[in-house]
Amino acid sequence: MEIAGADLVRAAALMGAGIAMGLGAIGPGVGEGFAAGKACEAIGKNPKEAGLLTRTMLVGQAVSESTGIYSLVVALLLIFVV
């Protein structure tokens, strides 16, 4: 089968999408898990503040999620736009 140049560019973009999202998922997964663990630990020590701590955990995780979202955006761009 003849592989044209356009196919190669498309393949590189698809490979790039996988690499971007795969690598980009490492940090948020670990970081958000750490935040959740510490929040549970704190709630265990001080159950009265469960609501406040859950909120803090979610706000913190939302920020930690952002780089994963950047990777997702770039991956989707590489798949559907470029």
Partner 1 sequence: MEYTSDVWIQSAAYLGAAFSVGFGAIGAALGEGYAAGAASQAIGKNPEQSGAILKNMLIGQAVAESAGIFALVISMLLAFVHSPEAPLITAFAYLGAGLAMGLSAIGSGMGSGFPAADACRGIADNPETQGMLTTNMLIGSAICQTPAIFGMVVAFMLMFVDFSQQPLWPGWAALLGAGLSVGLAAIGSGAGSGIPAGSSTAGMARQPAAATTIRTNMLIGSAVSQTPAIFGLVVAFMLLFIDWSGKPGWPTWAMLLGAGLSTGLSAIGPGIGNGLTAGEAASGIARVPEAQGPVTTTMLIGQTVAQSTVIYGFLVSLILLFIDRPASQAMVDWAAPLSAGICMGFGGIGPGVGEGYAAAYTVRRIARDARQNVLLTRVMLVGQAVSESTGIYSLIVALLLLFVI
Binding site for partner 1 (CB under 8 A): 4-6, 8-9, 11-13, 15-28, 30-39, 41-43, 45-46, 48-49, 52-53, 56-57, 59-61, 63-68, 70-71, 74-75, 77-78, 82
Q: For residue 50, what are the contacts with CB-CB under 8 A and spacing of at least 6?
A: 43
Cα 37 → chain centroid:
18
The least CB distance from residue 62 to partner 1, in Å, is: 9
* Terminal-residue alpha carbon distance, the chain: 24
By beta-carbon proximity to partner 1, the closer residue of 1 and 28 is 28
